[in-house]
Amino acid sequence: MITIQHERRPGVYYDSVVLMQLQRALVELDGVMDAGVVMATQANLDLLEDTGLPIKDVEARPEDLLIVIKAKSKSTADEALKQVDALLTRRRSAAASTYRPRSLDAAVDQLPQANWVLISIPGRYAASVSRHALEAGKHVFLYSDNVSLEDEIALKHYGREHGLLVMGPDCGTAIINGVGFGFANRVRRGAIGLVGASGTGLQAITTAIHHLGKGISHALGTGGRDLKREVGAICARQALDLLAHDPTTEVIVLVSKPPDPDVAASLLAAARQTGKPMVINFIGYAAPTRQIDNLYFAQTLQESAERAVALIGRAGNATTPTHQSSGPQERKYLRGLFSGGTLAIETTRGLVALLGNVHTNLSGTGASLLDDPLVSQGHTVLDLGEDVFTVGRLHPMIDNDLRMRRMKQEADDPQVALLLLDVVLGEGAHPDPASELAPLISEVREQHQVEVAVLLIGTDEDPQGLDRQHESLEAAGVAVFTDTMSLVSHAVACLGVEVSDEAPPVNLESLTSSVAAINIGLETFYDSLSEQGAEVVQVDWRPPAGGDERLMDILSKMNSSGKNE
């Protein structure tokens, strides 16, 4: 008669891979129809019931191990339960046959040169173990999920303040000095470094680079929430800085699910500062262009790999503009006054990517809509050809009066550092726009110390005379450009937008020294590191106080009290 029997083991801990192996081994026994090996959380109890292995009236705590057998008879089920210990001893991990310290402190004593701690234990314990590792001066590869956002923020702030990386939580992939962490693939060494808030994204790009005949210097995972506004891309910023200073890394790839706009702008600003060719793939993000300075945007993972490979050897050609406004420091905003709507849209999208918060009267740009287009806020780009401006007057491509009035208004704002204009030539347009704009531009620059840049659209056959317009504008001190992204690049450089971090940088030796690691959790990670030639110690970790949360809280308070004395 089919029966379901179970056994409860109080306070017993095995990592999830060992439990999976045990479950599979039990199912393979004669007469066993199904098996479940889980920690006794309510979610797991519900899962057992849903999968046809219900346990009635079980008295178990979440920290207890449950072994459930569904068999053709009670005697078969009982016999299977008797074999659990023997099956556990058949674990294939090399860590099972080596000495394993019982604590992180003991592991540090055993392998003091360890620079990394890999943590893959249940999320409710992972934050405290990660903090312990950081306090021991170790970088953390945090594979565990179900770590609270508040804990992640606290851990990463501590890591940043002490020059330590916290990759994760929920970080599944990294490659450090040729050694793969977590689910990394075996790829050749090379000149391309990666930063990824997407583990499988890192895997897809690194393997594609390998298939294209090139290799990886390092690949640094951040965890999926790192680019959220609350976290602020702390790990990603540290990783970019590391790769920027790593002499073996020529090209950098940054891959992530779409970040918050302000975080994206901050990251892109940091990426520009590296000066190295940088391939950006914010998956699903509508890139403003194919390239801005040293930033190259890709839409797919394969394209990211292909662009990175193509950029090898071109690092010397990558330049980032360094021009800054000579005006007073309190002048920090730009105002764009455009006659062409499409030109304004494309410029706005580029500025949003690099500056973050931009205001406009145009929809679909990623910028914030102005409450009142007659009043600018912060960085503002206006399409002066919109209906609100053209009622009862000519279009600004024909008549400069409205734009000149607005130029004076914006220049009077003590926070404005830069004006952006478009000058569009051609049939029907103003016959000589520079003749009216240039004198006012000279006045604005001299009296208000406000810089001006112009996007000039036209040909040498236009009636206004392209060269004559260009010369007149330059004579007034204008920086003249013929494409929107060059204008955007100049604007960001002119404003002197820089991303700085007063926290100590991560020591480059973290990447360049031989990998030595302490593994807490999944023994398969230990096996992988060992097989790759890394020095590694496996901690025989158990939940504190047998997983009893009340006792854990008491112990935590006692430890905190001891530290404060």
Q: Hey, what domains does the chain have and what are their CATH numbers?
A: 3-91 (3.30.70.60), 96-170+513-565 (3.40.50.720), 171-321+501-508 (3.40.50.261), 333-495 (3.40.50.261)
Task: Please give the average per-residue pLDDT across 355-381, as a whole number.
Answer: 92
Strands 189-196, 333-338: pairing kind? unpaired
Task: Please give the average per-residue pLDDT across 73-95, as a whole number.
Answer: 78
Least confident of 284-288, 301-305, 401-405, 487-491: 284-288
pLDDT at residue number 318: 46
pLDDT at residue number 546: 55
Percent of the residues in the chain that have a pLDDT greater than 90, as a whole number: 60
Examine residue 169 and say whether the peptide bond preceding it is cis (omega within 30 degrees of 0).
yes
Closest CA to 241 of 505, 3, 422, 482: 505
Task: Please give the average per-residue pLDDT across 335-352, as a whole number.
Answer: 93
Q: What is the pLDDT of residues 450-474, one digit of tens each?
A: 999 999 999 999 999 999 999 999 9
Report residue 329's pLDDT band, with 50, 70 and 90 as the boundaries. low
| pLDDT beyond 80 at 110 | yes
Distance between CA atoms of residues 43 and 219, nearest Å:
35
| pLDDT beyond 50 at 175 | yes
Task: Please give the average per-residue pLDDT across 122-146, as a whole number.
Answer: 94
Distance between CA atoms of residues 353 and 218, nearest Å:
26
Q: What is the pLDDT of residues 380-403, one digit of tens each?
A: 999 998 888 888 788 899 999 999
| Contact by Cβ (8 Å): 271, 280 | yes
Strands in 78-151 per DSSP E: 116-119, 139-142
Distance between CA atoms of residues 255 and 271, nearest Å:
12
The percent helix, strand, coil of the chain (3-state, each to 5) is 40, 20, 40
What contacts 24+ positions apart, CB below 8 Å, involve 159-162? 159/134, 159/234, 159/235, 159/238, 160/234, 160/238, 160/501, 160/503, 161/503, 161/504, 162/134, 162/137, 162/504
pLDDT at residue number 202: 95
Report residue 551's pLDDT band, with 50, 70 and 90 as the boundaries. low
Report residue 548's pLDDT band, with 50, 70 and 90 as the boundaries. low
Packing angle of the helix pair 466-475, 433-448 (nearest 10 deg):
20
Report residue 338's pLDDT band, with 50, 70 and 90 as the boundaries. very high
Q: Tell me the CA distances in angstroms from 482 to 295, 325, 347, 466, 486, one per residue in order.
A: 19, 21, 12, 11, 8
Q: What are 78's two structure tokens?
A: 């009982």
Mean pLDDT score of the chain:
88
| pLDDT beyond 70 at 334 | yes
Region of 318 on the Ramachandran plot (φ > 0 left; ψ -120 to 50 alpha; else beta): beta
Beta-carbon contacts of residue 387 (< 8 Å; ≥ 6 apart): none
pLDDT at residue number 555: 53
Report residue 554's pLDDT band, with 50, 70 and 90 as the boundaries. low
> In the block, which residue shows the tokens 């170790």?
138
Measured in residues, the chain has a length of 565
| pLDDT beyond 60 at 327 | no
| pLDDT beyond 90 at 182 | yes
> In the block, which residue shows the tokens 């404060």?
564
pLDDT at residue number 293: 86
Identify which has the larger pLDDT, 106 or 82.
Answer: 106
Report residue 321's pLDDT band, with 50, 70 and 90 as the boundaries. very low
| pLDDT beyond 60 at 557 | no
Report residue 545's pLDDT band, with 50, 70 and 90 as the boundaries. low
The amino acid at residue 542 is R
Task: Please give the average per-residue pLDDT across 520-533, as a whole number.
Answer: 93
